[in-house]
Structure 1
Amino acid sequence: MPTHPDESEKNVLEPGCARCPALVESRTCISWGNGPTDADVVVVGEAPGAGDPDADIWKGGNHTGFAYTSKHSGRRIRSLFESLGYADRTYYTNAVNCFPEGEDGSNREPTPEERRNCRVHLETELEAVSPDLVVTTGRHATATLLAFDDERLDGFLDRVLEPFDSEALDVRVLPLLHPSYQEVWLSRLGYTAEAYRDAIAEHLP
């Protein structure tokens, strides 16, 4: 079981942020970045899910206020980096910090405006942490990092485990599969779980 972050690790940048009216309505709370502010690696997720308020600890960022604290994705990505020796060297955040609720109550895709509004927070975090590597998990997180250099994402799967340099942020970026969809796509990309983990390890600072 990975370590759940505590309040001292929460990096609140704009209390009560109301940049996106629809997200203010749908969120329970803002899911802020967390972890050491001198981390070697920053993991950027897409956006918090609805979460489970009845879960024991891993309720999800929409209820805990911490990015990547859901029972499934949060535990999986944190377990991965802890197993690679980065338990105290990784900072976790999201491209969009609030739960984007769809018509059926599940996640919808964040709008371009919502991603743009949240980029200011992500840029602040990356400037403060100054990591050696940014790991993006999923299509929206990768698109957000590319947007800093005015680049578009065409074909996310072709980007997985293919690092690129962000000139605007002066950092190396490594796209990974989102942990929620990892099992679906690994075999299609020709990886076993062990080979995928080893490939990630090769790119870590």
Structure 2
Amino acid sequence: MTNTPSVDRIIRDIHHSLVHLKESGCTGFDCSSRSLEILGGLGWPATETSGKHDETLADIRADLGDCTRCGLSASRNHIVFGEGAENARLVFVGEGPGFDEDRCGRPFVGAAGQLLTRIIAAMQLTREAVYICNVIKCHPPGNRDPEPEEIRHCLPFLKRQLAVIRPRVICALGRVAAQTLLDTQAPISRLRGRFHDFMGIAVMPTFHPAYLLRNSEKKREVWEDVQQIMKRLE
């Protein structure tokens, strides 16, 4: 059976592209080299997605398989691929699975995950309507930060997930996710509060829910970031 995109999705993709072109300073349809360059950035190039523009999340999960590409495979219990709507307008990206996530194979199910669920509900959304995943798919021992080599192996799969979903906004949860997506070493305190770009998708970095559990005074700033996301999704 041919997997034909819905009219709603086609319209949403066109709108997404036009908005990004406007924000990038391009007007009209003169097919200038600058416009073509920006459009190329919106299309998730073949070098990023292995040319599989019609693949599904299930295809990517099958390709990931019982991954042994890095040393994390030796200590993990489950690969945590991600979950949610394949056509979600909003994707949350964390740094990696924690202890609880490793035990059950689902993202954000521990105390931080429960807080994220409440944040999603405050946005008048559900976990089923968004997509939730991480930069890396396996739990780092001792909840340490992912190492560059681990990120290098996992990041192509995240890019392919985002290419399939084509969300309107990515919410990068925490320092590691934000720095990885934006290829920067800037602190999360400087990155949050404004939109950035990744693969032609608007990215809003904000504090990780686990950080909020230890620093409740930062919840106001997260809510400010979330309100910007809600406005962008309107």
| Fold equivalence (TM over 0.5) | yes
Which residue pairs with 2:121 in the alignment?
Answer: 82
Alignment of 1:4-153 (within 5 A): 12-13=61-62, 14-20=64-70, 22-51=71-100, 61-70=101-110, 72-87=111-126, 88-101=128-141, 106-147=142-183, 152-153=184-185
Spell out, residue by residue over 1:76-131, the C-alpha distance to the aligned partner (whole angstroms, 9 max, x if none).
11221122112143100000110010xxxx21111011111110110011000000
The two structures have a TM-score, normalised by structure 2, of 0.68
Alignment of 1:187-202 (within 5 A): 187=217, 193=219, 196-202=222-228
Which residue pairs with 1:177 in the alignment?
Answer: 207
Q: Identity over the aligned pairs, expressed in percent?
A: 26
Against the structure 1 CA distance between its residues 17 and 25, is the aligned structure 2 distance closer, same or farther, given a 3 Å change threshold? same
Q: CA RMSD in A?
A: 2.0
SS of corresponding position for 2:97? coil
2:194 is the alignment partner of 1:162: yes
**Structure 2: how far apart are the matches of 1:97 and 1:123?**
13
SS of corresponding position for 1:97? coil
SS of corresponding position for 2:204? strand
Q: Which has the larger radius of gyration?
A: 2
Residue segments in structure 1 that go unaligned for 5+ positions in a row: 1-8, 52-60
Q: How many Å apart are 1:199 and its aligned residue?
A: 4.0
The two structures have a TM-score, normalised by structure 1, of 0.77
**Structure 1: how far apart are the matches of 2:143 and 2:222?**
26
| Count of equivalent residues | 172
Q: How many Å apart are 1:161 and its aligned residue?
A: 2.2
Spell out, residue by residue over 1:154-200, the C-alpha distance to the aligned partner (whole angstroms, 9 max, x if none).
2221112222122xx1100000101111144453xxx5x35642541
SS of corresponding position for 1:12? helix
Q: Which amino acid aligns with 2:106?
A: F
SS of corresponding position for 2:210? coil
Spell out, residue by residue over 1:33-83, the C-alpha distance to the aligned partner (whole angstroms, 9 max, x if none).
1000000100001111122xxxxxxxxx2022121122x111111221122
Q: Which amino acid aligns with 1:182?
A: L
- Contact residue 134 and residue 173 of structure 1 kept, 8 A: yes
Which residue pairs with 2:229 in the alignment?
Answer: 203
